[in-house]
A and B are shown apart, each in its own frame.
Chain A
Amino acid sequence: MTNKFSKEQSSLPIFDYINEGIFVLKKDYIVRFWNQCLENWTGIKKESIIGSNIFEIFPHLNNGVYKSRIDQVFQSGPPVVFSSQLHAHIIPCPLPNGTLKTLQTVVTSFSWEGECESEALFTIQDVTDHSFRIEQYHNLNKKLIVLKEESERANNAKSIFLANMSHEIRTPMNAILGYSQILLNQKNLSSDQRQAIQTIDSSGKNLLELINEVLDISKIEAGKMELYPTNFDLKDIIVAVSTMFELRCKQKQLKWKVGEFNKSCIVFGDQVKLRSILINLIGNAVKFTKSGEVEFKVTTLNSHQFLFDVIDTGIGIASKEQQHILEPFHQEESGSKMGGTGLGLAISSKQLELMGSKLLFDSTLGKGSRFYFILSLPKGTGKIEKRSERFNNILYLAEGYHVKALVVDDIKENRDVLTAFLTSLKIDVKEAVDGRDCLEKVKEYLPDIIFMDMRMPVMNGEQAIKEIRKEYGNHQFKIVIVTASALDQNRERYIQLGAQEFIAKPFRIEQISSCLHKLLDIEFEYDKEESPEQESYNICDSDLSKILLSNQLHTELKEAAELYSITKLEIAINKLRCENEEYNKLSAVFMDLLNKFDMDGILDILGKLNHEEK
């Protein structure tokens, strides 16, 4: 038997030499042994306690929680554990600071050779220090949890603030951009008026782009950015992006090289994000290259992998800056001079991560940069979704088509702009001010299509759609959600809700036209003439040579461009326009470059202009 001691060891002297509390109880709870360590811890001398009943000294041990378990030990039962978490002070041992030692106790059964009665051996460990550290750790953990919750709350508040702010900004933007587009569609504008409206339109679009960038990065940080893959032709994107930058390079006298990508290649992926990444990377390349060339090429690596390369001979990135350039809000010195939010690369990089790719770059200061990434785009099947470019020059509904639309929005300006546009297309329009009003109008008016805002008082858009679908089924009335809420643009969810299409505010007129065409299978009459604003951005050297600017105006323009002073530049461009009607085309080019923050482009043109004292 293991748990048997020889009677000769009855004084158990060896236990006086260990740093743990040891005592032995006989079956009648009389203390048989009390070691030196316990004497030190409790101040109770062994002479005074040995032979006494333990309950007289420590009455709490008579409590059932202790006694019933210790009784089991006296019946040769298994060891009993009194953990420091649940029974820390089985024997009170005072500490100098007035508290008690934290103890961990195990009680084991043993008996003496030749005797059958079991006695209880208490082994007590001092775990005060250990427990103190655990407590510290737990307190620290609690603090961390509180801090984490606070930061989550703050982050959540930030998201809600951004969503609200976006909603608040997008609502007036919707009216500004909506009306500017409607006005630009009018034929009888003077060139000054057209120029002014174009400025409103392009400045509005710039402002919207800035808001969108800030929102994009917030969405990425909140983990709310999602992919919307569709089938598309990779060649279409390459051609569109190339066309866009060919002209910009020409204006800056840069050589534009684009790799050959002749074959149509239908793939499945998020074309909107890919396009924005390419525009961002090539835009940067053009922005930061003063002379030399910008090259864009796409190499097919295998059936579904493509290498996208943007190479420039620009200013390059200093090696100490390179590790930071993909961080949000980071702009190196040269970047901050060029304007913008400093978010472009961070957004592109995160968007690529979302697509399972990684933005890579090599760069040498003063020599140029190469930004590249490998993207997996599986082969596309089915129908290709074309962007709605064909809806740019719409006049009105083609003959024989008749459409009734209901515009539901609580904000008058929003209703006005959409109604004005739809009316200009010769569509019959009625308006509703909230979900409840919408339900009534639907009943009496039976529209073909409903443009539904989401956030409305009385009854919101979601509730209204549910009611409509419940009452009329899923197929009567096409519903298009038009919302300004930027953090909640989950197309899938809206489709599940029973809507057919989703458009973010501020909407583009082409989106509305495309939507009408797609959902109602209608056709439009188109304006056959090229719209005047298309040509105004082209200006060739022979045109420039005909212009003679005053020295003063030339200097004003040059200084404003060099200092990135947008307001001064706008004033100077307006002066230019007022000076001579022949300068309209030049001022349009300047305005376009200004809107793109392309000051180098403006300075280049100014460099080629003749100017003299008037």
Chain B
Amino acid sequence: MKITIEQLDAIKELFNMGVGRGASILSQMVDSRVHLEVPKVEIFPSSDIEGLKTSIGLNESSSVNMTFSGSFDGNVSLLIPPDSATILVAALTNEEPGPMQLDPVRAGTLCEVGNMIINGLMGSITNVLKKSIDYGLPQYTEGELDNILDLQSDGEDTNICIATTTMNIENLEVCGKLLVVFKVGYLQELLSAIDAI
């Protein structure tokens, strides 16, 4: 599938808006401005898992994952590197979080933050698509990348959009990566919808 620079820019804008929505809620919660960098967006076919992994560049991570289905199938994950996760949890709970290994404070907090950001993004996407989508419940996992992301396609071709951005909360730099896995065709539909705007 060929994607033009304009389309890529439009997806970037969509991600930017979506993450921005999530971040604005987050900034209400932490009662301080959450500054967001314009995300870097890349698209990989599911056949290029290695390319995707290189782009993600993390061996281990915290992840909030949510599936969606209905008129539009796929799943979306927010990956937060361990260091950023620690900073984020500390900023939100005023508690020093434990190391990875499913510390409940860390898991609960990150699940809610991931939920906010993902919801922001999905809100932007559905606004553009004007289609209703059903959602699964958000799930929190952490560990090695291969274990937390099911990137193996089940025979079907999928496209994976990855957007990397850095949030700045109270001068703390928190990095996050949003992965959206679209089943075949849906990305094209999204691009057409973007083109129609």
Contact = CB atoms under 8 A, between A and B. Distances in A.
Interface of A: 1-3, 64-65, 68-69, 72, 75-87, 104, 106, 108-109, 130, 134, 138, 141
Interface in B109-124: 109, 111-112, 115-116, 118-119, 122-123
Interface in B74-120: 92-93, 95, 98, 104-105, 108-109, 111-112, 115-116, 118-119
B119 A72 contact: yes
Chain A contact residues, majority secondary structure:
mixed
A134 B122 CA distance: 32
A87 B112 CA distance: 10
B134 A2 contact: yes
Contacts of B148: none
A76 B108 contact: no
Contact of A77 (B104, B105, B122): B122
B123 A65 contact: no
B132 A81 contact: no
Interface secondary structure of B, over-half rule: helix
B134 A81 contact: no
B119 A69 contact: yes
A81 B138 contact: yes
B108 A104 contact: yes
A73 to B, nearest CB: 9
A78 B122 contact: yes
Contacts of B138: 78-79, 81
Contacts of A78: 66, 68, 115, 118-119, 122-123, 133, 135, 138
Contact of A85 (B109, B115, B123, B135): B109
A72 B138 CA distance: 15
B137 interface: yes
Question: What size tier do the contact residues of chain B reach?
Answer: 20 to 34
Nearest to A135: B105
Contacts of A72: 119, 123
Interface of B: 25, 28-29, 66, 68-70, 92-93, 95, 98, 104-105, 108-109, 111-112, 115-116, 118-119, 122-123, 126, 132-135, 137-138
A2 B73 CA distance: 14
B104 A130 contact: yes
B25 A81 contact: no
A130 B132 CA distance: 36
Contacts of A87: 112
Nearest to A134: B104
Given A64-B28, A79-B115, A86 B92 contact: yes
A138 B28 CA distance: 27
Given A65-B25, A78-B119, A108-B135, 7 more contacts: A2-B134, A72-B123, A78-B118, A86-B29, A86-B93, A130-B104, A134-B104
Which residue of B112, B126, B133, B137 has the most chain A CB atoms within 10 A of its CB atom?
Answer: B112
B93 A79 contact: no
Nearest to B69: A2
Contacts of B93: 85-86
B146 to A, nearest CB: 26
Given A83-B108, A83-B112, A85-B112, A138 B135 contact: no
B132 A76 contact: yes
Kindly name the residue among A78, A79, A104, A134 whose own CB sees the greatest number of chain B CB atoms within 10 A.
Answer: A78
A126 to B, nearest CB: 14
